[in-house]
Amino acid sequence: MPVDPQFKPLLDDPAMQLRVPPADVTPAMLREAARARRTAPTGPAVHATRDISVRGAAGPITARVYYPSATPDLPLIVYIHGGCFILCDLETHDELCRSLANSSGFAVASIEYRLAPETPFPGPLEDCYAAFVDLAARGGELGFDPSRLAVCGDSAGGNLAAAVALLARDRHGPALRHQVLLYPVIEAACDSSSMREFESGYLLSREFMRWGWDRYLSSAADASNPLAVPLRAASLAALPSATLITAEFDPLRDEGECYAEKLSAAGVPVIGRRYLGMIHGFMSLPRVTPVAARAMADVAQDLRAALA
């Protein structure tokens, strides 16, 4: 089917296309420009939110915890935001995390990890894993059940969420029951069929992804490291069950679906859903397409089945 026509005004706006910035524009300048354009929050109300300090790899970082109700001992979803490893923060994903908490009925903790290129691989991943371990250890203090944990991330955050699951397995960390990967960044080569077919004009571009990978990886050797590029993992056995969401018109579609197939081949229970007519990041656009809410309800259903 064609791209959902409700995306046409967005796709027709050149300012909405993610392109490589001029050489004199730094990632820090991009972040500041994005903050300057930010409007007042419009996300749904939740019972309570709480910004807390959690352990990162090199010192404290911030996490925002969303509580959909006053129910004690809720399961916890650790959320890792996207942004090509370089952009975005707690505020850009506040609405999505509120919707995830309300839809699932579970607590959500969104992680403010350090960004590339100032902090390249493995720094952002180690921040996310350290925060995950710290949150799991503080369940009683924070009001959730540390025996019912999931990790979730979108785009580059999906990469980090998948890598957190690998680390939790290999380091014998807190037990994860489920991983939710929303149109994840899984392969550094940027050479899949969907990456070539949708390389420009669909918000996320192939050149922008290459630019992001170049700033995230510390060396060429990192492109073979499964903690940076989960698709390169020698084994995906004994990982938690997974939900993997892809969008029909997303450059990242094929690598995400390839990862779902590899998980399934390793014996991991996987629910894979491709949403037709959708573009990258569609779940953050509920005022553009009603499919965002439908996908959120589907994800929440999977989480309840895994954690409730």
The H-or-E segment that residue 300 falls in is helix 291-307
CB atoms within 10 A of CB 99: 24
| Cα–Cα distance, 46 to 97 (Å, whole number) | 10
Amino acid (1-letter code) at residue 6? Q
Is 110 catalytic? The answer is: no
Q: What three-state secondary structure class fits 255?
A: helix
Cα pseudo-dihedral 141, 103, 163, 192, rounded to 10: -170
**What are the backbone angles phi and psi of residue 154, rounded to the nearest 5°?**
-115, 140
Strands of 107-112's sheet in order across: 48-55, 60-67, 107-112, 74-80, 144-154, 178-182, 241-249, 270-279
What's the angle, vertex CA 59, arms to CA 178 and CA 226, rounded to 5? 45
| Cα–Cα distance, 85 to 120 (Å, whole number) | 9
Is 178 catalytic? The answer is: no
| CB 167, CB 129: distance < 8 Å | yes
The Cβ-side half-sphere exposure at 179, using a 13 Å CA radius, reads 35
The H-or-E segment that residue 102 falls in is helix 94-104
- Write down the catalytic residue from 155, 192, 194, 241: 155
| CB 147, CB 76: distance < 8 Å | no
Query: Greatest CA span in the chain, whole angstroms?
Result: 50
* Structure tokens belonging to residue 170: 């290999």
- Label residue 183 left, alpha or beta by phi (over 0 means left) and psi (-120 to 50 means alpha): left
Is 250 catalytic? The answer is: yes
Q: How many residues does the chain have?
A: 308
- Write down the catalytic residue from 4, 134, 250, 254: 250
- Write down the catalytic residue from 241, 280, 284, 302: 280
Catalytic residues: 155, 250, 280
